[in-house]
Amino acid sequence: MKKLIAFIAIILILYSCNTSDRGELVGTIGKQWNPEKPFGMTLIPGGAFIMGKSDDDFVAVNDAPTKTVTVRSFYMDETEITNAEYRQFVYWVRDSTVRLKLAILADEVGATAGDEGIGEFAFVDQENEEMTPYDQYMYDNYFGMGDDFYAGRKINNNIDIQWDTANYPDEYYSEVMDTMYIPSEEAYNGQRTIDVTKLNFQYTYMDMQAAARDDSKRRKDFIIKEDINIYPDTTVWIKDYNYSYNEPMHNDYFWHQAYGDYPVVGVSWKQAKAFSVWRTLYKNSYQKSRRRQQINAFRLPSEAEWEYAARGGLESATYPWGGPYTKNDRGCFRANFKPLRGDYAADQALYTVEAKSYEANGYGLYNMSGNVSEWVDSSYEPSSYDISSNMNPNVNDTGNLRKVLRGGSWKDIAYFLQVSSRDYEYADSSRSYIGFRNVQDYMGTDVVLNEKLGDAR
């Protein structure tokens, strides 16, 4: 017994010698963390501002009464999301869809890696000797058990997809690729076109607001699954304008490289939300591969965040550049909109312009007024300012499909360019004059507006 006690005492002494906290409460040990500014974004320092109409609402909508609110710091895209950026999303969904179809067919026909055919695209966990014990456990106990038989299986991203028909490796590959194109009877002039109805993005999220209000249900009851077709509606260039020739915009605007740096349009509120989720997953996938800390989610801004950022640090200004005029001291228009009672070209732009056009506001944000209206993550209620909080206000009722638009567009009059003007469209609608940009929450010591703007960035 004495030997046992002596042994335990030695162990305790050795343990105390090997710890650096000296028995004090010092917290858990973690890696050093520093904030990383997301690419293409700028930091908007938090602070308070007067939200709402600073002048008389001459159209008598009266849906934006003045109200002092405070918002926390966040990052915001310097420009609207462009066609080239959204095409990256479309390509990713397209390629992932093809790889999943190839893997499923390989599984069905028993093809495996090494056969130089469709088997090269088989699920990477299929008879893979390099599976970790955890992967093996998940494979044995969960895969094939849910509603989706192939949910959770890992597709092979290391093999290049062959789009040239001359390079198809076998008939199974040809069969899968054929399903990705519109049927021959719907094609014309020999064109082979991707069937965009196949480009769907699935994701899940948790309704935090509902979960916070009702703790009587289980966690799974608040998990929402979305399945969104993500291809922009290019026909908006025709549908939005009766008896007007806009076919060139329908044919070229989204796909042609000439418009790569122009804001994407024809995207609904739901598609903008899906893009934000994908952008987060895409970045975090890279972070995981580099064993780095995962980032906060990209998302649509709240209505208060958008207006605060659009003001660029100016108090009670009419426009992002101040006001009250839409021209600068040289007589040039300061945004892309419809001036002079319908002279669309007076501002040197007939439709949209490149996302980084005109002068940026005080926070380095471009086209917060004009070019395209922007979706925000708020539902439209005329009285929402009266019921919302003064701290990070956001009224987003999931049952209200009217979602707020901000900033005005290339086809709007100057009233909608005012930073306090509110408009709305339905969440499943898309228009030739509506786009969006993302924000991301800022982590760490908060940055406030009364600091020097140069330091805040």
355-381 pLDDT tens trace: 999 999 999 999 999 999 999 999 999
pLDDT score at 121: 93
What is the 8-class DSSP label of residue 423? E
Residue 171: strand, helix, or coil: helix
Asked if residue 400 lies in contact with residue 381, where contact means CB atoms within 8 angstroms, the answer is: yes
Asked if residue 277 lies in contact with residue 225, where contact means CB atoms within 8 angstroms, the answer is: no
- Cα dihedral across residues 139, 285, 28, 212: positive or negative: negative
Residue 341 banded pLDDT, cuts 50, 70, 90: confident
CA separation for the pair 438, 235 (Å, rounded): 25
pLDDT tens for 183-228 read 988 888 878 899 999 999 999 998 888 888 888 888 888 899 999 9
% pLDDT > 70, the chain: 91
Paired with 50 in beta bridges are: 68
> Which of 131-145, 295-309, 381-395 holds the top average pLDDT?
295-309
pLDDT score at 453: 46
Tell me the one-letter amino acid at 12: L
Q: Number of H helices and number of E strands within the chain? A: 11, 12
φ/ψ (deg, to 5) at 304: -70, -40
Which pair of structure tokens corresponds to residue 173?
């590959």
In this prediction, residues 167-179 reach a mean pLDDT of: 95
pLDDT tens for 306-340 read 999 999 999 989 999 997 899 988 888 999 999 88
Q: Is the pLDDT of residue 116 over 50?
A: yes
In this prediction, residues 142-152 reach a mean pLDDT of: 70
pTM comes to 0.90
pLDDT score at 452: 41
> Which of 8-17, 129-138, 319-328, 373-382 holds the top average pLDDT?
373-382
CA separation for the pair 87, 92 (Å, rounded): 8
Q: Is the pLDDT of residue 148 over 90?
A: no
In this prediction, residues 263-287 reach a mean pLDDT of: 97
Q: Is the pLDDT of residue 454 over 60?
A: no
pLDDT score at 236: 97
Residue 18 banded pLDDT, cuts 50, 70, 90: low
Give the angle 235-238-240 at the CA atoms, nearest 5°. 100
Residue 390: strand, helix, or coil: coil
In this prediction, residues 101-110 reach a mean pLDDT of: 92
Contacts of 123 (CB under 8 A, 6+ apart): 103, 106, 107, 150, 153, 154, 155, 156
Residue 173 banded pLDDT, cuts 50, 70, 90: very high
More confident of the two residues 341 and 428? 428
pLDDT tens for 389-413 read 999 999 988 889 999 999 999 999 9
Q: Classify strands 298-299 and 373-379 as parallel, antiparallel or unpaired.
A: unpaired
Neighbours of 189 (CB within 10 A): 4
pLDDT score at 202: 94
Q: Classify strands 200-206 and 373-379 as parallel, antiparallel or unpaired.
A: unpaired
Q: Is the pLDDT of residue 457 over 50?
A: no
pLDDT score at 5: 52
Helix residue ranges per DSSP H, 179-329: 208-213, 236-239, 247-252, 269-289, 303-311
